């Protein structure tokens, strides 16, 4: 308790610049933790939805029925959205009497658009985590340098400097470095982890697009009534 009170007292007694640096770092830390928890839910939900959709897709059921179920439910995301976009465009071009190549190319473009939208949604705010992780140590270092500089300037008017006169200024300056690392380390770890998970999902989406395109190519040679 005495140590905590001393730290709070050092922060309260610090210069305005150091206090502003600490406030900025604390705000960055709160923001990064908010993003960390939110992205954990979003990416985790996308992974679980991909597993459930693949189970339904590869169960051998009718693709037209699966598409109608997804369309009625609405709000499709992830792999489900890729399937919905691709199948809708395929069915539209088929009814328009397009060639097989045109149907497949249109379905691929639609699936690519859906995939790009999904990756953009998953990567949202990851750049903020990277920024917090890379800049926070330097902001903390700036606060430390400023605090130490102020301490030595203040010692210029003292006849004899002792540890008791130097320690508080050095300690309040080092707090800025500690808070900077506290903000940076979780942000860097979370960014690397989530970026890797998003990359794995992107590869999974690419594989599904190729597999679904192969299935659509087989459906393209059937009568229109059987494919929709």
Q: Maximum distance among all alpha carbons in the chain?
A: 98
Q: What pLDDT does 5 receive?
A: 45
Q: What pLDDT does 170 receive?
A: 77
Structurally, how many domains does the chain consist of?
Answer: 1
Q: What pLDDT does 218 receive?
A: 83
> Are 100 and 224 contacting, i.e. CB atoms less than 8 angstroms apart?
no
Burial annotation 100-135 (CB, 10 A radius, 16+ → b, else e)? eeebbebbbebbbebbeebeeebbebbebbbebbeb
Residues of the chain with pLDDT under 70: 1-7, 154-168, 221-228
Q: What pLDDT does 118 receive?
A: 94
Q: What pLDDT does 156 receive?
A: 66
Residue range of the domain that includes 121: 2-227
Q: What pLDDT does 217 receive?
A: 86
Question: By C-alpha distance, which of 47, 38, 106 is closest to 79?
Answer: 47
């Amino acid at each position: 308790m005495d140590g905590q009170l001393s730290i709070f007292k050092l922060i309260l007694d610090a210069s305005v610049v150091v206090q502003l640096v600490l406030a900025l770092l604390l705000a960055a830390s709160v923001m990064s933790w908010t993003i960390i928890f939110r992205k954990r839910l979003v990416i985790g939900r996308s992974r679980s939805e991909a597993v459930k959709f693949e189970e339904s897709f590869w169960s051998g059921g009718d693709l037209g029925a699966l598409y109608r179920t997804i369309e009625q439910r609405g709000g499709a995301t992830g792999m489900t959205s890729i399937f919905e976009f691709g199948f809708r465009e395929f069915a539209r071009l088929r009814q328009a009497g397009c060639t097989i190549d045109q149907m497949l190319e249109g379905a691929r473009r639609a699936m690519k658009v859906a995939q790009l939208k999904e990756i953009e949604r998953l990567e949202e705010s990851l750049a903020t985590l990277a920024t917090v992780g890379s800049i926070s140590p330097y902001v903390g270092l700036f606060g430390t340098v400023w605090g130490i500089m102020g301490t030595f300037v203040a010692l210029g008017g003292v006849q004899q400097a002792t540890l008791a006169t130097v320690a508080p200024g050095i300690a309040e300056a080092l707090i800025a470095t500690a808070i900077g690392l506290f903000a940076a380390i979780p942000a860097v770890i979370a960014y690397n982890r989530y970026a890797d998970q998003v990359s794995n999902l992107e590869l999974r989406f690419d594989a599904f697009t190729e597999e679904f395109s192969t299935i659509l190519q087989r459906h393209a040679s059937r009568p229109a009534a059987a494919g929709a």
